[in-house]
């Protein structure tokens, strides 16, 4: 019977493949039709603009680039700026969501505006030079759909330790989401090369300066790609690397996403270029998302995985220490891929810090979250790194303790590490953000967003509304980063 079945498959293989292709095509066609008719509207900012990004390599200094970037950002904004006033639209200049901060001491709600933000577009690239003795420089790489603003709180930590801080805006970011239709992963390599060049120029008078890479979300694989290619070319490496919620896994969608893109080439299905179309209520981050952007990140990650497989044990030893900070739950990135990359590299001089969920609410968690324990992680992904796990252990105590390499240390932190009353976990977007952040913090409009009412009346999902936008344990993050900055690499 089995032989007959195999013969049937071989004889009819072409017909079967054709049948499967037709089924796949019909599924994609149905998905495309459903998305096109879901009621969400394409706005002017969802279209590609006609103006060109400033090309990094055309500018010899950060100051030159910054002037060109400001003109570009202003021009881009004015192309889609709304004449009417909107309360929560970043393209309404008087909106609370506008990326432009007024050059005043207080905003319209009476909140003090930090001096460094007054009169700027929060999407701008920035460079800050410490007033203390300079040890080196750090290049802060932000995430996809994001902007340099998300790196402001991390910048202050490195600044306090004596590092020149540079954060460059990625091409097609910080303007309008339609620009993400143009994204190419090769542009990120150009950015990191240019950023390190600018840092070295800034540090040329400093003796033996440290160069540090910091990558948040997509900034993680961008920095990894740079290091892997530097090792391959036997070129200079950074001294240390910091990753915050790094995107190291390829999504299943990326493998078939090109078929959606192909369908969207037809005028009727033009809207199918988008994975999400949402109100643009965040001045420092796009909320709409193109499929092209996700595919380009996946290309980068796939290239990294190929390069990782080719690494020799001696090449792994050349890697700088990598310090990784990750929430146990993350809707944006696959945390298991992060653990796997860390395991592959060995990273004996580095550290993996995992923020657990609030076990007080264990009864509400899914089975997989309930059973995600430090014991399972260490069994599945044994690592040579220092492994730090932050957890309140059980549902009876909101106080969070740390365990190092599986050994619980009931160290008393001052102030104590405590979950806020109704917080269940950190989120991907919250990890690098201080509760005091002007735009996303505890007292900010977005940080305190908590709309309640009848279900299914908003175009924004309830998940996006309730998503935590700041890190309740930012003081611990600051403490840990500073400790790791002062460490020497293990031999």
The CATH architecture annotation of domain 43-320 reads: 3-Layer(aba) Sandwich (3.40)
Q: Mean of the pLDDT values across residues 286-301? A: 94
Residue 425 has pLDDT above 90, yes or no: yes
d(CA 351, CA 383): 10
Angle among Cα 229, 69, 41 to the nearest 5 degrees reads: 95
Residues 6+ apart with CB under 8 A from 145: 173, 177, 180, 285, 286, 287, 289, 293
- Distance between first and last Cα of the chain: 62
Predicted pLDDT of residue 408: 59
| Count of CB atoms situated within 10 Å of the CB of 476 | 19
Given this model, what pLDDT does residue 355 score? 94
Q: How confident is the model at residue 417 (pLDDT cuts 50, 70, 90)?
A: confident
Q: What is the pLDDT of residues 433-453, one digit of tens each?
A: 999 999 999 988 787 777 778
* pTM across the whole model: 0.93
Model pLDDT, residue 87: 86
Return the sign of the alpha-carbon dihedral for residues 6, 9, 12, 13.
negative
- Quick: pLDDT tens for 222-241: 999 999 999 999 999 999 99
User: How confident is the model over 341-370, as a mean pLDDT?
Assistant: 92
């Amino acid at each position: 019977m089995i032989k007959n079945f195999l013969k049937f498959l071989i004889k009819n293989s072409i017909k079967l493949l054709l049948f499967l292709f037709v089924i796949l095509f019909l599924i994609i066609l149905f998905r495309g039709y459903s998305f096109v008719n879901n009621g969400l509207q394409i706005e002017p900012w969802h279209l590609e603009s006609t103006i060109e990004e400033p090309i990094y390599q055309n500018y010899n200094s950060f100051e030159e680039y910054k002037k060109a970037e400001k003109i570009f950002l202003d021009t881009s904004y004015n192309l889609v700026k709304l004449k009417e006033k909107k309360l929560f639209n970043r393209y309404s200049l008087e909106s609370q969501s506008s990326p432009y901060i007024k050059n005043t001491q207080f905003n319209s709600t009476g909140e003090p505006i930090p001096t460094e933000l007054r009169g700027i577009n929060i999407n701008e690239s920035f460079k800050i030079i410490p007033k203390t003795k300079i040890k080196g420089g750090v290049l802060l790489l932000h995430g996809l759909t994001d902007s340099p603003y998300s790196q402001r709180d991390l910048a202050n930590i490195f600044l306090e330790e004596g590092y020149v801080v540079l954060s460059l805006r990625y091409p097609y970011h910080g303007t309008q989401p339609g620009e993400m239709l143009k994204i190419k992963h090769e542009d990120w390599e150009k950015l990191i090369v240019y950023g390190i060049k600018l840092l070295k120029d800034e540090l040329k008078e400093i003796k033996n300066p440290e160069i540090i890479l910091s990558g948040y979300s997509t900034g993680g694989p961008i920095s990894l790609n740079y290091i892997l290619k530097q090792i391959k070319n036997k070129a200079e490496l950074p001294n240390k690397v910091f990753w915050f919620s790094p995107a190291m896994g390829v999504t299943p969608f990326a493998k078939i996403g090109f078929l959606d893109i192909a369908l969207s080439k037809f005028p009727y299905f033009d809207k199918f270029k988008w994975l999400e179309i949402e109100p643009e209520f965040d001045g420092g981050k796009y909320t709409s998302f193109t499929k092209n952007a996700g595919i380009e990140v996946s290309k980068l990650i796939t290239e990294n995985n190929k390069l990782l497989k080719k690494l020799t044990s001696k090449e792994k030893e050349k890697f700088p220490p990598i310090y990784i900070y990750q929430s146990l739950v993350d809707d944006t990135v696959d945390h298991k891929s992060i653990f796997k990359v860390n395991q592959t590299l060995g990273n004996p001089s580095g550290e993996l810090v995992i923020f657990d969920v609030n076990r007080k609410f264990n009864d509400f968690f899914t089975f997989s979250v309930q059973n995600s324990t430090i014991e399972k992680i260490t069994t599945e992904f044994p690592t040579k790194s220092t492994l730090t796990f932050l957890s309140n252990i059980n549902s009876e105590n909101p106080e969070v303790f740390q365990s190092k390499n599986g050994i619980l240390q009931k160290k008393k932190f001052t102030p104590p590490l405590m979950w806020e009353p109704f917080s269940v976990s950190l989120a991907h977007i919250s990890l690098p953000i201080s509760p005091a952040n002007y735009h996303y913090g505890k007292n900010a409009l977005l940080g305190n967003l908590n709309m309640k009412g009848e279900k299914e009346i908003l175009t924004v999902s309830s998940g996006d509304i309730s998503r935590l936008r700041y890190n309740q344990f930012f003081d611990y993050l600051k403490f840990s980063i500073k400790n790791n900055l002062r460490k020497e690499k293990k031999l």
